[in-house]
A and B are shown apart, each in its own frame.
Chain A
Amino acid sequence: MTRKYEDLINELKEIIEKIENGDADLEESMALYEKGIAIMKNCEKILEEAELKVTELQD
């Protein structure tokens, strides 16, 4: 779950860079933005839903 979080954050950073440096055309940039917002929501959801769970191993 949180390994995914790291990947998501990295993807988000890449998206921002792509839009910033103008690699993508305008239409693509819009699509990237939409995707970025979706990823952002996902990240927020992961953080919101984080929950302590304790399991005790038996011998």
Chain B
Amino acid sequence: MDWFGTGDAVENGKKEARSKTSRTAKTKTPLQYGEQSKDEPAYDLTDDRDRIKTVSEISSVISRLLDIDELKDLWVEGEITNHRPHPSGHLYFSLAEIKKGETYVIQAVMWKSYARELGFEPKNGDRVRLYGSVEVYEPHGKYQFTAREIVPCGQGDKHLLVAKWKEQLYREGIFDDDHKKPIPKFPEKVGVVTAAGGAARRDIENIISRRFPVEIILSPAAVQGDNAHTEIAQAIRRIDGMVDVIIVGRGGGSFEDLFEFNHPEVVMAVYNCKTPIISAVGHQIDTTLCDFAADISAPTPSAAAELAVPDIAELLKELAYLKKNLVNSLETRFEREHAELENLRLRLRPNRLAKIINTRQETAAQLALRLRNAITQKLRNERNELNLLKTGLELGNPKLPIKKGYCMVTAGGHIIRTVKDLKIDTEISIELADGTADAKVTKITEKK
């Protein structure tokens, strides 16, 4: 793996070197040549141009020569010297070795991005192991060891082991950010992987009961001692899927106390866990590989508990706020409806409409008047006609009595008014309302 893109750098360096060469040949060389005394035998620099190298060319060659696997990704041991703090945060120092009375020194650098993840502060005189590569800083023609890890030797092999694991797991992508899962906002159940009787458990339970008391499921494991890593890994696998979020951790301790949380078995259990994991190993300054693999890492178990559950007081505040919003929303709605109604009402009765109504009312009144006049006239006419008829009737319609049931007797075309005009067997005609009947007189009785 080409960590620092050294290959590219060399390529670029070469190109740059070449272009510089051509520039130098055109400008600088004739100038120097011009300064030569005429008496001295002048070297024909134009002919020798190929033999003359520029500084950058040499640097480039050195860089290429040192770009070999044997000087890459290796551990080197020695004593720190010439170390002084640099405001940039990069660590500049030398690594020295005394062999048969001779001191050998190589300059070394650790860039800020690596330096800030160191678990300790290197001092002059520390015997350490560096992991990194030999690289050339071309502009200065200087080679140096670029360290990516510094491990104190005095403290035994465990540091070295952790550094090795870290490097390896890092390469395998175990610490990649895109593998990290989001922590649920409102977990139903919180899992805790720690020692059953540890301070971490107490802290976590206290915080959770104070912030948002939910169900805690403890998956107990020894958190230090030679076999703790197996227990921790098992405890994680056992509780995976049973809870919404898992806190893995323990309280503070020495590097050795926390060591088991660096073990790849723990790291892989964290990595493979389907449930989101909050890691909280030791105190603020302690960092273990478990922290790197977890979905989120908290400085302490208490802080992990705070990350795991929301604060009920905050939730109540939010709820009160939402309640106000809800009531306001309806009130606002009502106000808006009122305003709209008022607006509609105003639009409903403009003068224009009143005028229309007036006009119509007038029209209606006129029509009513005309109607009344017309009907009065009509009635008057009818009454007149009726009166006329009545008069006519009174003047005498001779046949009117017939209609009432009387009859008219005629004989020989004359109306018979007295029996004296009749004899037995006189033929008479009796006129009734609906017709006439002919008859013969059979008997005559005169009133006395």
- Give A58 Cβ to nearest chain B Cβ, in Å: 9
- The number of chain B residues with a CB under 8 A from chain A is 37
- Give B195 Cβ to nearest chain A Cβ, in Å: 12
Q: Is the CB of B332 within 8 A of A20?
A: yes
- Give B386 Cβ to nearest chain A Cβ, in Å: 66
Given known pairs A3-B186, A16-B326, the reply for A57 and B337 (CB within 8 Å) is no
Given known pairs A29-B333, A44-B319, A52-B213, the reply for A36 and B188 (CB within 8 Å) is no
Q: Is the CB of A26 within 8 A of B213?
A: no
Instruction: Name A's interface SS.
Output: helix
Docked complex Cα distance between A15 and B337 (Å): 18
Q: Is the CB of A50 within 8 A of B329?
A: no
Within 8 Å CB of B188, what residues of A? 1-3
Interface string of B323-334 (1 = CB under 8 A from A): 101100110110
Residue B389 lies at the interface, judged by CB distance under 8 Å to chain A? no
Residue B214 lies at the interface, judged by CB distance under 8 Å to chain A? yes
Within 8 Å CB of B184, what residues of A? 3
Residue B316 lies at the interface, judged by CB distance under 8 Å to chain A? yes
- Give B70 Cβ to nearest chain A Cβ, in Å: 50
Given contact pairs A12-B326, A56-B217, enumerate 14 new A-B contacts (beta carbons under 8 Å).
A2-B186, A3-B244, A9-B318, A19-B333, A20-B333, A40-B323, A43-B319, A50-B213, A52-B208, A52-B214, A53-B213, A53-B215, A54-B217, A57-B218
Residue B353 lies at the interface, judged by CB distance under 8 Å to chain A? no
Given known pairs A33-B326, A37-B326, the reply for A56 and B218 (CB within 8 Å) is yes
Docked complex Cα distance between A51 and B216 (Å): 10
Given known pairs A47-B315, A50-B213, A51-B213, the reply for A57 and B219 (CB within 8 Å) is yes
Q: Which residues of A contact B (CB under 8 A)?
A: 1-3, 5-6, 9, 12-13, 15-16, 19-20, 22, 26, 29-30, 33, 36-37, 40, 43-44, 47, 50-57
Q: Is the CB of B333 within 8 A of A47?
A: no
Within 8 Å CB of A5, what residues of B? 186
Residue of A whose beta carbon sits closest to that of B216: A54
Interface string of B353-374 (1 = CB under 8 A from A): 0000000000000000000000
Q: Is the CB of B214 within 8 A of A2?
A: yes
Residue of A whose beta carbon sits closest to that of B244: A3
Residue of A whose beta carbon sits closest to that of B309: A2
Residue of A whose beta carbon sits closest to that of B313: A47
Docked complex Cα distance between A33 and B322 (Å): 12
Within 8 Å CB of A29, what residues of B? 330, 333
Choice from B185, B215, B239 contacting A6 with Cβ under 8 Å: B185
Residue B209 lies at the interface, judged by CB distance under 8 Å to chain A? yes
Q: Is the CB of B217 within 8 A of A57?
A: yes
Q: Is the CB of A54 within 8 A of B185?
A: no
Docked complex Cα distance between A36 and B274 (Å): 35
Q: Is the CB of B329 within 8 A of A20?
A: yes
Q: Is the CB of A9 within 8 A of B322?
A: yes
